[in-house]
Structure 1
Amino acid sequence: MIARIFGLSFVVTIITLVVAYLYMGWTGLALCAILGILEVSLSFDNAVINATILERMTAFWQRMFLTVGVLIAVFGMRLLFPLLIVWITGGLDPAEALRLATNPPPDGQSHFADGRPSYETILTEAHPQIAAFGGMFLLMLFLNFVLTDREPKWLTWLEHPLAKIGKLEQLPVVLAALSLVLAAEYLAADGIRSTVLIAGILGIVTYITVDGLSSLFMSDGPDDQPAQDGAAEDGAGESAAGRRGPTPVTKAAGKAGFFLFLYLEVLDASFSFDGVIGAFAITSDPIIIALGLGFIGAMFVRSITIYLVRKGTLSEYRYLEHGAHWAIGALAVILLLGVEYEIDEIVTGLVGVAFIGASLASSIRANRRDAQRKSPSSVNA
C-alpha cells in the first residue's frame, strides 16, 4: 500500500530535482530539496485535517484531490497566487510581474537601482492582508471544532466548558469577528487597517459559504444523496469543519463532493499562505519555490493524507484530530499576529508538531488502557 500511495510522489520528486538542477545547477537542486523537506515536515497537521475531510469523500473526489488538487496547489498557490498578489498590490501587469519575479535585483536587495520594489518586497508587504484572510478562515475552522460537543474529548478540562458555551448560536462567528477587530485595531498599521478588515471578513465569509454549501448538499437533493460507507466505520459529521458523531461515515458525491473538494482546496491554500511567504527566507526565485513547495511538498502532503485515510489512522488514534485542530488554532493566532510581527515558519511548524505529538501520545496511552481492560487477566481479576 505504501508503494502504491507514495510511489508517484517519489517519481515526481526525482523529476522535480532534475528540473531544479537543469534550471539552477546544484544550488537549485539543494534549495528545492530543502524547501520540499520543510514543507513536508511542517505540514503534518495539514495532512491530518485534510484526512478528516477526505475520508468523507467518494473515491472519485479523493482522486480529484490527488490529481487536480495537486495542480491547484502547485500552479495555483505556489506560482500563480504570488504573481497575482504582486500584480494587484504592485499595480503591475501580469507580464511585468512575471519578469520581476524571474529577474530579482542584484545582491538580494529589496529595491532596484531605479527605486522599484522587488518581487519579494511587494509580496512581503501584502502579507498582512494574506495573513488576515488565512487566519480568519483557519480560526473559524478551529472554533467550529472546539465549540461543538463531541466524544471523545482530549483536553477534557478545556474542551468540556468550551462545548458548553458553544451551544450559543453563531458564537464562532462572534468570536472570529471580535478577534479580527482586535487584530486590525492593535496590530495593523493605520494605512492598511481597512484592507486587513476586508481581507479578514472575506476569510470568514469564504469559510461560512463553502462549509455551508458542502453541508447543504450533503443532506439535500435526490441526485446528490450521499453513499453510506458501512455501519462499522465511525465519524459522519455535521459539517465540513470536521464535526463527527456516532453515525456511519457519509461519502459526499455529486454537488456535495464538489463543494467539499472546494472547501478542502481553500483550507489547503490557507495552510500554504505562510509557507509561500516564508520560503523567501531561503530563496526569492519563484520557480524554485514552486518546485520545492509544490511539486515535492504538496505532493507528499497529499500522499500522507491518502495514507491516513486508507490506513484508518484517525480512527486508530482517537485524539489525533483534536491535536490537529488545536494546531490549526495556534496557526490562526500566529497568522493574525503576523499582521504586525514577523514569526519564523519554523516556530509555526514546531507548534503544530507539538500538538500532533501530544495528541498521538495521548491516543497511544488510551489504546493501551483499553487493551488492558479487555485482556483476560484484567477480566479475571
Structure 2
Amino acid sequence: QKIFLTIGILIAVFGMRLVFPLLIVWVASGLGPIAALDLALNPPADGAAYFPNGDPSYETLITDAHPQIAAFGGMFLLMLFLHFILEEREIKWLEWLERPLAKAGKLDQLEVVIAVVLLLITATIIAPDDKVSTVMIAGALGMITYIAVNGLGEMFHIPEEDEEPTGGPSGLAKATGKAGFFLFLYLEVLDASFSFDGVIGAFAITSDPIIIALGLGFIGAMFVRSITIFLVRKGTLSEYVYLEHGAHWAIGALALILLYSIGTHVPELITGLVGIVLIGAAFGSSIYRNRKEAKAEVSV
C-alpha cells in the first residue's frame, strides 16, 4: 500500500501523464526528447492543430495515437473483465447473467477466444483502414501484457493459511514480497489503461502537458489511490459485496467503449456515466442485500 501511494504516484504522474505522452510524440514525429518537450510546451498560436509550416502540434500527434492506445488499453481491460466474469464465484450480482457466463467459463481459454474475436472485429470493422495493422498489434500487446502480468501474479501468490510455505518464515516473506510486487505492477498497468485516454481528453481543457500531469496526476491519481487504500482498510468490499462486481462490469463497459472509440468518438460524459451507474447500482444492491440479511437475522 505504501508503494502504491509513493512510487506508484510518481509513475502515475510523471510516467503515464507526462513522460509517456512525450515518448509517443518522440516516436511518432522522430523528434528527440528535448525537441518533443519543446513541442509540448510551445503549441501553435490560437490552439491550431498544425504550425504554419505544416508540422503537427503536440496535441495532434497525441490524438493521432489514440487508436493504438485505445486498442492496447481496451484489450487489457477486456481481458481483466472476462477473467473475472467467466470465473465461478460464490457471490453473484447479476445472477441471471453471471451464472451462465461462469458456466461457459469452464471452457478452457474462453476469455482469450472472446478477446481475439472482439479484436478482429475492432480491427476489421471499427478501425480506420490505415490503422488495421496498428490496432491488431496494439490489441495483441494488451492481451499479452495482461496474460503475462496476471500469470506472474498468480505464480507468486501469497500462500493461504492452510498451505505450507516453502522455506519457513523467510520463504513466506519472499512469497509475500513477490506477490506484492506483481500486484503493484498489475495495478500500474491497469492505471495506465485507464489513465492515458484521460490525457487525450484533457486537451479539451488545456494543451499544457504540465497542467495535465498535475491535474490528472497529483489531484486525480492521488485522490483515487488514497480513497482506494481507505476503502480497503475499512473493509468496504467485504461489507458491500457487489461493489467488486459493479467495478468489473464498469471495466468491461469501458473496454468496449475504448474499442468502439477507435472508429467513432465517444463523449467523455457517456464514458463517465456508464461507470457511475454500474458502480452505483452495485452499491445500492449491496445495501439492499445487507438490509435483507439483517431483517432475516432479526426474524430468526
TM-score range, shorter chain: over 0.9
Q: Tell me how far apart the structure 2 counterparts of residues 98 and 192 of structure 1 sit (CA, whole Å).
A: 26
Q: Tell me how far apart the structure 2 counterparts of residues 174 and 291 of structure 1 sit (CA, whole Å).
A: 39
Alignment of 1:248-267 (within 5 A): 253-267=176-190
What amino acid does structure 1 have at the position aligned with 2:180? G
Q: Tell me how far apart the structure 2 counterparts of residues 222 and 283 of structure 1 sit (CA, whole Å).
A: 54
Comparing 183-192 with 218-227, which one deviates more in the overlay?
218-227
Establish whether residue 98 from structure 1 lines up as the match of residue 37 from structure 2.
yes
SS at match of 2:50: coil
Establish whether residue 189 from structure 1 lines up as the match of residue 189 from structure 2.
no
Task: Give structure 1 stretches of 5+ with no counterpart.
Answer: 1-61, 228-250
Q: Tell me how far apart the structure 1 counterparts of residues 171 and 113 of structure 2 sit (CA, whole Å).
A: 32
Q: 1:252 to 1:346 in 2, by over 3 A?
A: farther
State the Cα distance separating 1:222 from its structure 2 match: 3.5
State the Cα distance separating 1:252 from its structure 2 match: 6.4
Task: Give structure 2 stretches of 5+ with no counterpart.
Answer: 160-164
Establish whether residue 164 from structure 1 lines up as the match of residue 108 from structure 2.
no
State the Cα distance separating 1:354 from its structure 2 match: 0.2
Q: Tell me how far apart the structure 2 counterparts of residues 272 and 266 of structure 1 sit (CA, whole Å).
A: 10
Q: 1:325 to 1:226 in 2, by over 3 A?
A: farther
- What is aligned with 1:347? 270
What amino acid does structure 2 have at the position aligned with 1:293? L
What amino acid does structure 1 have at the position aligned with 2:143? I
- What is aligned with 1:325? 248
- What is aligned with 1:290? 213
Alignment of 1:45-124 (within 5 A): 62-124=1-63
- Per-residue CA deviation, residues 266-304 of structure 1 (Å, 9 max, x unaligned), is 011111021111111111110100110001110001101
Q: Tell me how far apart the structure 2 counterparts of residues 84 and 288 of structure 1 sit (CA, whole Å).
A: 18
Equivalent residue for 1:275, pick from 198, 207, 218: 198
Kept after mapping to 2: 8 A contact 1:132/1:200 = yes
Kept after mapping to 2: 8 A contact 1:252/1:260 = no
Kept after mapping to 2: 8 A contact 1:323/1:356 = yes
Q: Tell me how far apart the structure 2 counterparts of residues 306 and 225 of structure 1 sit (CA, whole Å).
A: 27
Equivalent residue for 1:155, pick from 91, 94, 98: 94
Equivalent residue for 1:303, pick from 183, 202, 226: 226
**Number of positions where the alignment pairs a residue of Structure 1 with one of Structure 2:** 293
What amino acid does structure 2 have at the position aligned with 1:184? A
Kept after mapping to 2: 8 A contact 1:274/1:345 = no
Establish whether residue 314 from structure 1 lines up as the match of residue 258 from structure 2.
no
SS at match of 2:82: helix
Q: 1:142 to 1:202 in 2, by over 3 A?
A: same
SS at match of 1:153: coil
Kept after mapping to 1: 8 A contact 2:201/2:268 = yes
State the Cα distance separating 1:148 from its structure 2 match: 0.5
Q: Tell me how far apart the structure 1 counterparts of residues 230 and 178 of structure 2 sit (CA, whole Å).
A: 25
Q: Tell me how far apart the structure 1 counterparts of residues 245 and 158 of structure 2 sit (CA, whole Å).
A: 25
Q: Tell me how far apart the structure 2 counterparts of residues 277 and 175 of structure 1 sit (CA, whole Å).
A: 28
- What is aligned with 2:141? 202
Q: Tell me how far apart the structure 2 counterparts of residues 278 and 333 of structure 1 sit (CA, whole Å).
A: 17
- Per-residue CA deviation, residues 142-175 of structure 1 (Å, 9 max, x unaligned), is 0001100102100011001000100000000110
State the Cα distance separating 1:346 from its structure 2 match: 2.1
What amino acid does structure 1 have at the position aligned with 2:246? G
Q: 1:326 to 1:112 in 2, by over 3 A?
A: same
Comparing 167-176 with 254-263, which one deviates more in the overlay?
254-263
Kept after mapping to 2: 8 A contact 1:218/1:225 = no
Q: Tell me how far apart the structure 1 counterparts of residues 297 and 171 of structure 2 sit (CA, whole Å).
A: 39
Q: Tell me how far apart the structure 2 counterparts of residues 87 and 339 of structure 1 sit (CA, whole Å).
A: 22
- What is aligned with 2:162? none
What amino acid does structure 1 have at the position aligned with 2:46? D
What amino acid does structure 2 have at the position aligned with 1:253? T
Work out the percentage of aligned pairs sharing the same amino acid.
Answer: 68
Q: Tell me how far apart the structure 1 counterparts of residues 282 and 232 of structure 2 sit (CA, whole Å).
A: 18
Kept after mapping to 1: 8 A contact 2:158/2:176 = no
Q: Tell me how far apart the structure 2 counterparts of residues 256 and 307 of structure 1 sit (CA, whole Å).
A: 21
Establish whether residue 222 from structure 1 lines up as the match of residue 166 from structure 2.
yes
Establish whether residue 133 from structure 1 lines up as the match of residue 56 from structure 2.
no
Q: Tell me how far apart the structure 2 counterparts of residues 79 and 346 of structure 1 sit (CA, whole Å).
A: 24
What amino acid does structure 1 have at the position aligned with 2:227? I
Establish whether residue 356 from structure 1 lines up as the match of residue 295 from structure 2.
no
What amino acid does structure 2 have at the position aligned with 1:222? T
4+ residue runs of structure 1 moved beyond 6 angstroms? none
- What is aligned with 2:152? 213
